[in-house]
Structure 1
Amino acid sequence: MVPKVSVNSLKPGMKLAKPVMNESGMILLGEGTELTETHIERLQNMTIGSVAVVGNAQPRKSKTEMLSELDARFRKTEAEPYMPIIKRVFKEHIEELCR
């Protein structure tokens, strides 16, 4: 699955995995285009919400936010036998995502 990134989260140097088209189907930026500040500013000024990018997209939430949510979700179940192990696996996954 190709990751989609909000136009507000795009960074210069990201490459498009699919062409970006307007409402009438006209290609605005082709597949493989390496985004520049100018491209990003123009996309942000249009009605385009997100675009498909090549490779790993940055998570939408910060590492701190994700870890806080993880703690909150497991707070009531930590006494269960396997829940700390499952929580640790998710924590390791979050750490890996944020490298």
Structure 2
Amino acid sequence: MLLITVLCLAGLAPGLATVWLVRRRSSWLLAVLAGVAVTVALPFLLLTSLVLFPPLGIAVGLAAALAALRAYDRGRIWSATVWAGVTALAVSCARWWR
């Protein structure tokens, strides 16, 4: 559970840094909007990189498959199912380009 919290905070860090940097020169509204835009753009950039660089998609898919197998072995069905979904998404992004 701690790892998920750390990953979520790492995903929010670029948006928070953007808010902090933009706030120094502009209003709070513009800073918050810029921070939200950066935070929302991260998943899009990840999927785009998986599509444009298929070996990365295959590597992420293999790593997620291993994580899914490990989670299934430990009896964590929901997290294993999420990892299996990540595997399918990453491999399908890698295969979409061809």
Q: TM-score, normalised by structure 2?
A: 0.32
Instruction: Name the structure with the higher helix share.
Output: 2
Q: What TM-score does the superposition give when structure 1 sets the normalisation length?
A: 0.32
Q: Comparing both structures, which one devotes a greater share of its residues to strand?
A: 1
Instruction: Answer with 1 or 2: which has the greater Rg.
Output: 1
Query: Which has the bigger relative contact order, CA under 8 A and spacing at least 6?
Result: 1
